[in-house]
Chains A and B, each alone.
Chain A
Amino acid sequence: MADDYAALNRQREKKRTTLRGLTQINLFFENSTRTQASFELAGKRLGADVMNMSVGSSSIKKGETLIDTATTLNAMRPDILVVRHQHSGAVALLSEKVNCSVINAGDGAHEHPTQALLDALTIRNHKGRLQRLTVAICGDIRHSRVARSNIILLNQMENRVRVIAPPTLLPEGVENMGVEVFHDMEDGLKGCDVVMMLRIQRERMKGAFIPSVREYFHLYGLDRQKLAYAKEDAIVMHPGPMNRGVEITADMADDSDCSVIQEQVEMGVAVRMAALDLLARQIPNDAEPDRGREGEA
């Protein structure tokens, strides 16, 4: 279905009426430009009425709890809530308190399901399959929900998953999560089909988790030399936003021969349209106040 939507998104007429009459609220407790824009476009192209709310700076600071915010919005009778929150488990908690569909757009360091789906779609587009591939995830695994969701999805599809990072940026027990652990890019990238780079937060660069940006770039930043260790046809991915010159060189990021970063963004809209479409099918077309709701997509 995401393939169909990807095709649709390249047409001049992109509008469908699948979600006509439905209200979608993007509730972002944590700032995000691309995920929020992606969900907004996805909803609009499917004909939903989309509203964006960035709560990070407003009502929470006024002392309103997450649950209050949820019940308030719920009373406005949205059909779909797209939620991002800085705390792990917060989206699931919120979904228990509302009677509409909820999509997890990222919770703490826990999960980011649509990102893993769009990554999977992008990989399949380029490799023709989503099995028996070797995928390296490099960078700040410790704080990354993208890494956790990708590890779950890629393992489910029977791929070999590697993580490459300095030990300070790996979560405890990662070796038991179905991945091979490397601290060296040369060893880790050898034979890889897919190289997935992660963003490293600025505040974690200066001596807290790694000694310096330049040392990190020297050891873990992706440049042509390091990419040469991977398979010749390896693709480079990044969930964005990128720190050019920190985890990836600018020319690598822009090299359309190997970088599929722009395509990830494109697939993001398609995957989210598919997720919204599937979820909307669960919404019964009647006026029952306690209609069923689906959990996180």
Chain B
Amino acid sequence: MTALLFTNARLIDPETGFDGPGAVRVEDGRITAIAKDADQPTPEGAEIVDCEGKALAPGLVDMRVFVGEPGARHLESYRSAGAAAAAGGVTTIALQPDITPVMDDPALLEFALRRAAETCLVHIAPMAALTKAMEGREMAELAFLRDTGAVAFTDADNAVADPLVLRRCLTYANSLDALVVAHVQDPVFAASGCATEGQFASQLGLPGVPAAAEAMQLSRDLALAKLTGARLHADQVTTADALDALRRAKDDGLTVSAGIAATHLAFNEFDIADYKTFFKLAPPLRAEADRLAAEQAVAEGLIDVIVSNHRPWDEEEKRQPFEAAAHGAAGLETLLPAALRLYHDEKITLPSLWERISLTPAKLMGLDAGRLGVGAPADLVLVDPDAPWTLDRARLHSKSKNSPFDRRQLQGYALKTWVNGKQVFDRAADGVTAA
């Protein structure tokens, strides 16, 4: 492979906090030289990529992505997910085990990885089930699964109800230094409704779930993390009360972290008006005060990670009464612009934002990604952070078009994306290069 030289770039490096002009040289899929505040001499035979002053940053690492394969390829295949990720500037997707069959068996995981490697344009980082069939009763084969390639363990949208089971899982996972990702919504409460409880849900006649369902479950899980010393990541923390609990746990020195979906930073409970099922999410959209608290928490780093929580559904699953419709939104292609809004609102700098969407998730899952340093893999995205555009869901690369951002004004997008130094997306061509 010939060398690549990115010149005239605005480099964004979350590791060092650098945001300034520079150049990057890539050879054999890795970064071999970086010149900050200066240009790099052209090596013989290098292909030059003139960045025209746009932002060159590590590709996004998305910690929560549902892909239908195997079992529901009509919703999203590894190929379509890879195309959507590349178009969204995402170079690593952390697959959730919540598919058919559930990823709780090393042989299944191996098959999935092999299949993905053949068709997916971006890196795959699979999470495996924490308990068998994600039923919350028996521990999955965590060590075997880790050896097969699992980067973390989670029962996805199922919260482990039994504290005995979760405690043992955490203790066992801790001995492997494995990350456990918990869905922090009380399962009994969560099953009792489809919107955040309050006046608005009452007026719509929708069964509500109290926002406290999150703080309750998170507090229990944090207590178990303290008891076991395990590394615990709360998948989505979206309420001010739960954030307070998280802050106390971090102040206590627990090895805990938390994420949030871009949708919960962009929307609040009123967006479900007229029973728009694209806004039916798990957890449900929150009150504006909670949304503001979450923005603040992302800015100061209390929330460590922003995810897309990409959950593709076809029209059949969404064209239903609100209570009967499936929850979740396609998000791979809107993670970047939704996250950039915090930058445009001057709540966060670009390098700090890139910690939340690239470096920190990579670190949590033990991946070598998210850095702009010599030796790092050349997973790169060229971003125009300011370009205004309007999303047309019909033009999404994802097989499923259930985006709540449809027809919304957004700002910023990926111009080009590289994985291991190989270009996988070019916005100018408005498509994805073949795998």
Contact = CB atoms under 8 A, between A and B. Distances in A.
B143 interface: no
B199 interface: yes
B199 A172 contact: yes
Given A65-B320, A66-B320, 13 more contacts: A67-B319, A87-B321, A87-B322, A87-B323, A89-B321, A92-B274, A93-B320, A109-B207, A148-B205, A172-B199, A172-B201, A172-B210, A177-B199
Interface residues of B, number: 22
A108 B201 contact: no
Nearest to B275: A89
* Centre residue among A88, A92, A110, A176 by max chain B CB count within 10 A: A88
B324 interface: yes
A173 interface: yes
Contact of B204 (A85, A88, A93, A176): A88
Contacts of A90: 321
Given A172-B197, A176-B199, A89 B204 contact: yes
B322 A88 contact: yes
A109 B320 contact: no
* Centre residue among A92, A107, A148, A171 by max chain B CB count within 10 A: A171
Contact of B205 (A67, A145, A172, A176): A145
7 closest A-B pairs by beta carbon, nearest first, are A173-B199, A110-B205, A89-B275, A87-B321, A171-B202, A88-B205, A109-B205
Nearest to B207: A109
Interface of B: 197-208, 210, 274-275, 316, 319-324
Nearest to B316: A65
Contacts of A93: 275, 319-321
A111 interface: yes
Contacts of A173: 198-200, 202-203
A53 interface: no
Given A88-B321, A90-B321, A177 B203 contact: yes
Nearest to B206: A88
A7 interface: no
Interface string A163-175: 0000000011110
Contact of B203 (A65, A87, A92, A148): A148
Interface string A102-115: 00000111110000
B218 to A, nearest CB: 21
B320 A88 contact: no
A174 B203 CA distance: 9
B283 to A, nearest CB: 16
B245 to A, nearest CB: 22
23 contacts: A65-B316, A65-B320, A67-B320, A85-B321, A87-B321, A88-B204, A88-B205, A89-B204, A89-B274, A89-B322, A92-B274, A93-B320, A107-B205, A108-B321, A108-B323, A110-B206, A145-B205, A148-B203, A171-B202, A172-B201, A173-B200, A176-B199, A177-B199
